[in-house]
């Protein structure tokens, strides 16, 4: 049985980890940290976990994290890099759901997250947590920087078109028009995510620059083997969960004779958590709510030279905690879908 520690168990990604791990056949949560809530039973804060999670919050000092097999960081940026080395030295595997180990360039990290990276030597070792791209590296890793929610959807949407240096699309004019529910902003009191502010409303944000942009471009460039440029525009939608990404790619002359439906179906045929829908489909966020599945549809309007890829995922599951459990399964040689066979909720 894998002994699991969670640092920062009071946020949305923390409670989502607890929900998924409560049903995991081969993992058991032994420590959940929160300085403010230390001593409080987890199920008291989250009644949905009554009878499923019997641990209490504890301070990091009391949690005995070095006795765990793996520790998840469901914390703000900057926390994992301050504690990762001690855990790694103790033989504990580390999975960070924040951005501390996503970007390989520490200068880029400092630019976008307004803090200096405190363990740049570990960046070279850290593996990017997107299983459909880095499955074999994840299996051998001890430190994972999980992919962000928006970057997961965009990279999955473009992966079949770019990997192996394919020249099917113009890699310098890509556009990702993405929408997220308010839970993507985290579990904190903030005016912009109050129900009266976000409900019955729709807006773009971060158009001049968003911290997920360098992560997406870094990932796509690695997939392609050459620099890729993308315009990324996120939007806030009046729903709790879900991401819908509409991606636009201009075809090259080489790509115009490609059967893109067949290309996507072949690429994801063996993937447990990527579902390529039939031609002409329009995926809905509610079709993945609560599950670790991403659904993709490929369109070529008017059989022209513009490809439109639609991707939906639950930002808290495939976009965060579910994908982190998927990564844990790979790291410990478990079935990749262990604890993740969750049917989406409808309605």
List the domain boundaries for the chain. 2-125, 150-315
Q: Do domains 2-125 and 150-315 have the same CATH topology?
A: no
- pTM for the model: 0.97
State the pLDDT at residue 286: 97
Taking only Cα atoms into account, the Rg of the chain, rounded to an integer number of angstroms, comes to: 20
* Cis bond upstream, residue 347 (ω within 30): yes
State the pLDDT at residue 188: 82
Map tokens 């030279």 to a residue.
Answer: 305
Q: What is the pLDDT of residues 248-280, one digit of tens each?
A: 999 999 999 999 999 999 999 999 999 999 999
- Strand 230-236 relative to strand 127-129: parallel, antiparallel, unpaired? unpaired
Domain range 150-315, its CATH number among 3.30.360.10, 3.40.50.2300, 3.40.50.12780, 3.40.50.2000: 3.30.360.10
Rounded Cα–Cα distance for residues 164 and 160 (Å): 9
Rounded Cα–Cα distance for residues 332 and 64 (Å): 20
Asked whether 232 and 245 are in contact (CB, 8 A), the reply is: no
From first to last of the 347 residues of the chain, give the pLDDT tens digit: 999 999 999 999 999 999 999 999 999 999 999 989 999 999 999 999 999 999 999 998 899 999 999 999 999 999 999 999 999 999 999 999 999 999 999 999 999 999 999 999 999 999 999 999 999 999 999 999 999 999 999 999 999 999 999 999 999 999 999 999 999 988 887 898 888 999 999 999 999 999 999 999 999 999 999 999 999 999 999 999 999 999 999 999 999 999 999 999 999 999 999 999 999 999 999 999 999 999 999 999 999 999 999 999 999 999 999 999 999 999 999 999 999 999 999 98
Asked whether 69 and 48 are in contact (CB, 8 A), the reply is: no
Q: Which fold is adopted by the domain 2-125?
A: Rossmann fold (3.40.50)
Rounded Cα–Cα distance for residues 230 and 210 (Å): 12
Could you give the C-alpha distances from 50 to 31, 32, 42, 43, 138, in angstroms and in order? 16, 15, 8, 5, 33
Q: Which of 216, 262, 263, 279 is closest to 243 using CA atoms?
A: 216
State the pLDDT at residue 269: 98
**Which of the residues 68, 119, 149, 178 is marked catalytic?**
149
Q: Is 68 a catalytic residue?
A: no
């Amino acid at each position: 049985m894998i002994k699991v520690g969670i640092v920062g168990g009071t946020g949305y990604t923390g409670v989502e980890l607890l929900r998924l791990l409560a049903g995991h056949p081969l993992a058991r949560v032994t420590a959940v940290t929160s300085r403010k809530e230390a001593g409080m039973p987890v199920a008291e804060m989250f009644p949905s976990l009554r009878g499923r999670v019997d641990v209490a919050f504890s301070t990091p000092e009391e949690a005995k994290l070095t006795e765990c097999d793996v520790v998840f960081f469901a914390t703000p940026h900057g926390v994992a890099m301050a504690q990762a080395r001690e855990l790694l030295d103790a033989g504990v595997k580390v999975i960070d759901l924040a951005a501390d180990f996503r970007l390989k360039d520490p200068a880029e990290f400092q630019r976008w997250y307004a803090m200096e990276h405190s363990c740049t030597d570990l960046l070279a070792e850290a593996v990017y947590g997107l299983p459909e791209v880095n499955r074999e590296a994840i299996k051998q890793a001890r430190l994972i920087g999980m992919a962000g929610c928006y970057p997961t959807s965009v990279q999955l949407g473009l992966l079949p078109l770019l990997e192996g240096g394919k020249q099917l699309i113009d890699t310098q004019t890509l556009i990702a028009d993405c929408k997220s529910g308010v839970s993507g902003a985290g579990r904190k009191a903030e005016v912009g995510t109050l129900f009266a502010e976000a409900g019955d409303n729709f807006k773009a944000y971060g158009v001049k620059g968003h911290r997920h942009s360098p992560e997406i471009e870094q990932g796509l460039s690695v997939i392609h083997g050459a620099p890729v440029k993308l315009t990324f525009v996120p939007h806030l939608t009046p729903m709790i969960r879900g991401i819908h990404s509409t991606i636009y790619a201009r075809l090259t002359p080489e790509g115009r004779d490609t059967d893109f439906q067949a290309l996507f179906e072949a690429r994801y045929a063996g993937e447990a958590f990527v579902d390529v829908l039939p031609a002409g489909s329009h995926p809905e966020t509610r079709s993945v709510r609560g599950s670790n599945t991403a659904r993709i549809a490929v369109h070529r309007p008017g059989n022209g030279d513009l490809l439109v890829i639609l991707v939906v995922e639950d930002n808290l599951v495939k976009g965060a905690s579910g994908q982190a459990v998927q990564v844990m399964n790979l790291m410990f040689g478990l079935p990749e879908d262990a604890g993740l066979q969750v049917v989406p909720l409808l309605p």
